[in-house]
Chain A
Amino acid sequence: MSRAETLNRPASTHPLPPPPMGLLAELTHRCALRCPYCSNPLELDRRDRELPTAVWKRLLDEAAALGILHVYFSGGEPMLRPDIAELVAHARDVGLYTNMITSGVGFQPAALDAVAEAGLDHIQLSIQAMDAETCDRVGGYAGAWQRKHMVAADIARLGLRLTVNAVIHRENAHQTKDFVQLAEDWGAARIEIAHVQYYGWGIVNRARLMPTRQQVERAMADVEEARARTAGRLVIDCVLPDYYARYPKACMGGWGARLMNISPAGVALPCHAAQTIPGLAFDTVQERSLSDIWYHGAAFNAFRGTDWMQEPCRSCARKDLDFGGCRCQAMALAGDASATDPACSLSPLHKQIVALAEAEAASHRSDFIYRGFQGAPKPQAERQMVPLQADRP
């Protein structure tokens, strides 16, 4: 099946999926930090394109009616929105579980009191490294380390449920145990040890971020040890780095299966990076309801089910477990969004991807291309990458 046929297949061939579980509300792309692995697109939405308060409130109403349980206020930095407490209160009013994903930087302490008072259920605070110098350099913001510690103290004072978000790469993979200790010191109930996923700004900076295989193995062992040590006190969730994996991640729990992502300007996306797939038609919340987009939107239906798959996915026993991996990664690395994710060891491209990761991990580059509204040079074209003859089945 050609890609065009895949993408244009009518939605009516699918049974209706269950309602979504979560709504990722990207309220803004503005952020004081400039992390080089940001999952936002290279072309960011400017402030004048952000949806107004009234539209977000309508979307929260629609989300609750659709059966969404969790809303994740994210961005960019969601706390930069002057209406953030109003949106949290509205989400609570309609029964949604409210999560805030924040850098802790760029807003006044009083804003945190306001969202706590509005009924925020859970806050996720990022930390970029376990030493001040690296933390501030990765975030591209002097003083971030100190500021985050102050915010953590405020969160503890307010009694908010806290998750620490640690994004792991070559420069901080050796600090895995220290991140866990920090989470305990801050009184967190949970930590995410999330290895960089190479999309958006991450793929631009891949050579500067990719850990060695030895680093990854050590970091995973550190996580297991920490889990045993903190069992019952701290929940440790770990997102694996997939270039070195045997099987790909079940990206988003399946395309159009669990989550909806709304960009600051109101584009409804099956995932952060979906706009990197050419040929997909995305709906906007200005034109259609969330329910209509979820059940009938062309982009949400493009990779539902397994009919779109090629070999080796099509006949694979794992096709309902990991759904062939990530469509955006297949696009970025194989040049075909319906190909097997090259992170999978069954992909004919896998050996090349591993070799690429190993070479980049050994490059010692640290000249980050920082996230910003100026955009970034397009990632190196890897689309010429073709299966090695020896790897063909």
Chain B
Amino acid sequence: MSVDLAASGLASIVPALPRGVRLRFDESRQQWFLLGPERVFEPDDTAAEILRLIDGTRSVEAIAQDLAGKFEADPAEIAADVMAFLRDLAGQRMIDL
């Protein structure tokens, strides 16, 4: 699958962690957690990479470009995966899109 990343509109979508949701690294378990109301998400390595890039200023496109560089993958494909992941979290009110 290949989409035109520039034309996808993902440059205008800027994900942010809402108030009441926090990403933290737990030293005792040596892993990342996304914490929200009565929720403890244990992201896998890829998901943790995405979440760590969310700062309320980076767009989905920028996040995808960053990850594509890191994993030597197609940015458009990565962007689609990132968007699917973020939509799922947004549906659970764990992220704002």
Bound: A124/B36 CA distance, A: 12
Bound: A180/B21 CA distance, A: 22
Check if B58 is an interface residue, CB within 8 A of chain A.
Answer: no
In the bound complex, do residue B40 and residue A122 qualify as a contact, i.e. CB atoms below 8 Å apart?
A: no
Check if B2 is an interface residue, CB within 8 A of chain A.
Answer: no
Bound: A160/B28 CA distance, A: 29
In the bound complex, do residue A97 and residue B35 qualify as a contact, i.e. CB atoms below 8 Å apart?
A: yes
Bound: A99/B29 CA distance, A: 22
Inter-chain contacts of A272 with B (CB < 8 A): none
Inter-chain contacts of A19 with B (CB < 8 A): 28-29
Closest 4 CB pairs of A and B: A161-B20, A67-B28, A97-B35, A189-B93
Q: What is the minimal beta-carbon distance from B43 to any residue of chain A, in angstroms? A: 14
In the bound complex, do residue A122 and residue B20 qualify as a contact, i.e. CB atoms below 8 Å apart?
A: yes
Which residue, A124, A159, A160, A235, has most C-beta atoms of chain B within 10 A? A235
Inter-chain contacts of A69 with B (CB < 8 A): 24, 26, 33, 35, 40
- For A92, the closest partner residue in chain B by CB is B22
Check if A66 is an interface residue, CB within 8 A of chain B.
Answer: yes
Bound: A137/B37 CA distance, A: 29
Bound: A124/B92 CA distance, A: 17
In the bound complex, do residue B37 and residue A161 qualify as a contact, i.e. CB atoms below 8 Å apart?
A: yes
Report the interface size class on chain A: 20 to 34
Bound: A18/B29 CA distance, A: 9
Which residues of A from 107 to 164 have beta carbons under 8 Å from B?
121-122, 124, 159-161, 163
- For B35, the closest partner residue in chain A by CB is A97
14 contacts between A and B (CB under 8 A): A21-B40, A67-B26, A70-B35, A95-B24, A122-B20, A122-B37, A160-B20, A161-B20, A161-B36, A189-B37, A190-B93, A192-B38, A232-B90, A235-B93
- For B90, the closest partner residue in chain A by CB is A232
Check if B91 is an interface residue, CB within 8 A of chain A.
Answer: yes
Write out, one digit per residue, whether chain B residues 8-50 have a CB within 8 A of any chain A CB (1) or not (0).
Answer: 0000000000111110101011000101111010000000000
Check if A321 is an interface residue, CB within 8 A of chain B.
Answer: no
Bound: A189/B91 CA distance, A: 11
In the bound complex, do residue A67 and residue B18 qualify as a contact, i.e. CB atoms below 8 Å apart?
A: no
In the bound complex, do residue B28 and residue A159 qualify as a contact, i.e. CB atoms below 8 Å apart?
A: no
Inter-chain contacts of A192 with B (CB < 8 A): 38
Bound: A160/B18 CA distance, A: 10
Write out, one digit per residue, whether chain B residues 72-97 have a CB within 8 A of any chain A CB (1) or not (0).
Answer: 00000000000000000011110000
- For A120, the closest partner residue in chain B by CB is B20
Q: Which of B22, B28, B40 sits near A121, CB closer than 8 Å?
A: B22
Inter-chain contacts of A121 with B (CB < 8 A): 19-20, 22, 35, 37
Inter-chain contacts of A97 with B (CB < 8 A): 22, 35
Check if A224 is an interface residue, CB within 8 A of chain B.
Answer: no
In the bound complex, do residue A190 and residue B37 qualify as a contact, i.e. CB atoms below 8 Å apart?
A: yes
Write out, one digit per residue, whether chain A residues 159-175 have a CB within 8 A of any chain B CB (1) or not (0).
Answer: 11101000000000000
Q: A235-B92, A235-B93 are in contact. Are A159 and B19 (CB under 8 A)?
A: yes
Q: A161-B20, A231-B91 are in contact. Are A99 and B37 (CB under 8 A)?
A: yes
Which residues of B from 52 to 70 have beta carbons under 8 Å from A?
none
Q: Which of A124, A160, A237 sits near B19, CB closer than 8 Å?
A: A160
Which residues of A from 3 to 33 have beta carbons under 8 Å from B?
18-19, 21
Given contacts A121-B19, A122-B20, 12 further A-B contacts (CB under 8 A): A18-B29, A67-B29, A69-B24, A69-B35, A70-B35, A95-B24, A99-B38, A160-B20, A189-B37, A189-B93, A192-B38, A237-B38
